[in-house]
Amino acid sequence: MSMGVSTRLFRRLLDDAAVFPPGLAPVEVAVAEFRQRRTGPYAELVGPLLIGAGAVGDLIDVLRGDQTTGAGAVDPRTAPLEVGLIARRGTPPGVLGEAVRRLTDEVPGEVVLTGVEVAHGPGWRDALDLGLPVAVEVDSSLEHLVPQLAEVAGAASAGHRVRAKLRTQSTPDTPLPPPPVLGGFLLACVRRDLPFKLTGGLHHAVRTEVALAGGGTEVQHGLLNVLLATDIAEEHARGAVAGSDAEGGTALERVVSTLTEDDADWLVQRTADLTEDQVSGLRSHFTSYGCCGVLDPIGELTSLNLLAVRPPTDPIHP
C-alpha cells in the first residue's frame, strides 16, 4: 500500500467476475488468469472466482483437463480454486443446489466454495439450506428494495450467514441505481448491521462518465466514492457525527454528496486519512464487489498512489 493507506481497506475486495458480462471470458481463460493473479503482487486484493451455476460443467472440465494434461501443476499456493457460485435472476430452480453437489462430489479437493449468490424472489431462502454463505441480490427500485432488505436482514438476525447484494451497473433490463438509491441501500445495510456486496460497475476509482457499447454514455459510480460513503453511513449509525460534519446535512444527503463527488484529489486524501477503526468498520459491511475486469480498479488505485503494487502486463491478454 502507499500514502499510509491501511492494507485492510482493499484486501479481498475484488471478486473476479471475468466470465460475466461485459467481460464474458471463457471459463478456461478465467481460471488461468485467476490463478496467475492470485500469485501476483496484488493477490491479497482478489477474492474468489465467480462462476455461474449453469457453467459448473465447464469448470469441472477445465479442472479435470488440468489434472490429465499436467496444466494443473501450478504453484501449490493457487490450489484449491476459490469459487463463488452465482444463480442469476431466471436461473431454473434446483440448478444452484445441483452445481454445489457436482463440485463437491466430482472435483473434491480441487475447489473451495466460498459462498453462493442468488436473486431475491420466490425460493431464495432455499439457498440458506446449502450450508454456505449466501448473498441475496435485491431490486434497485425503492418499491422493492426496502422490503427485500428487511427479509435478508431477518434471515441474518436468525443466524444465517447472509448478506445483501446490489447491482451497481446498468443492464439491458435495469438502469444504473442513482446515488440516492445506492446511498439509501448503504445506509439501510449499515443501520441493520447487515453485510453487503455490490456487483457490476466500479471499474473506476472515481465517479466517471463512460461510453456505452451500444452508444451513449453513463456516469458510473466510483470505488472510492462508495468506500467513503460507507464510512459516512458508519459514522451516522454510531452516532459519531458532530460539529461541522453534522452541519453538512442529513445522513442521506452526506452519503449522496460523497457518491457524486468527482474531485479525485479530495477522494484520495479522504481515503488516505481513514483510520484503522474506520477501515475495519466499513469493510465489516462492504465486504466485496464483483468486477469482470479486476485490473481496471487496481491500475487506477495504483496511479492514484493508493496501492504500492503495479499490475504487470497480462500475458494472456497483453
pLDDT for position 308: 78
pLDDT for position 57: 97
Provide the grid cell at 58.
Answer: 465447464
pTM for this entry: 0.91
Distances in Å between the Cα of 127 and the Cα atoms of 81, 103, 131, 160 are 21, 16, 8, 10
pLDDT for position 241: 58
pLDDT for position 284: 97
pLDDT for position 168: 95
* Contact present, 117 and 87 (Cβ < 8 Å): yes
pLDDT for position 271: 97
Angle between helices 264-272 and 223-238 (to 10 degrees): 50
pLDDT in tens, the chain (318 residues): 556 688 899 999 999 999 998 889 999 999 999 999 888 888 999 999 999 999 999 999 999 987 544 444 444 444 799 999 999 998 998 999 999 999 999 998 999 999 999 999 999 999 999 999 999 999 999 889 999 999 999 999 999 999 999 999 888 888 899 999 999 999 999 999 999 999 988 999 999 998 887 788 889 999 999 999 999 999 999 886 554 455 567 999 999 999 999 999 999 999 999 999 999 999 999 999 999 999 999 999 999 999 976 555 443 333
Report how far Cα 174 is from the mean position of its chain's Cα atoms: 18
Alpha helices in 110-218 (DSSP H): 142-157, 179-191
